Amino acid sequence: MGSPLAPILADVFMSKQETRIEDMTENKPVVYLRYVDDVFCVFPKEEDAEKFLHTINIWHDNLKFTIEREKQRRLPFLDVMVIGDDVNKAYET
């Protein structure tokens, strides 16, 4: 994002996509968090994440979302390490 307008345009675009996500009836994330164009989602099953990714990637021809999976219950998001806690069913940083 080199242009000063890029974060604003990304925010406007993603806001529109979030409206579509809210209207989804299947494969909707349990948790959905976003900062500009970085998105953090939690799904009950791995296949739900795959179906969600496929769905949002057909919305725009020139834009493709990618997925990064947790490793050993850890996932970097922005500059923070998010750690899943299976016992308390929570996430911590």
pLDDT digits 0-9 by tens, 44-67: 999 999 999 999 999 999 989 999
Share of the chain above pLDDT 90, in %: 76
The total of other beta-carbon atoms located within 10 Å of residue 29's CB is 17
Alpha helices, DSSP H, located in 1-93: 6-23, 46-57
Model confidence at 25, in pLDDT bands (50, 70, 90)? confident
The residues, ordered by sequence, that sit 6+ positions from 72 with a Cβ below 8 Å of its Cβ are none
pTM for the structure as a whole: 0.84
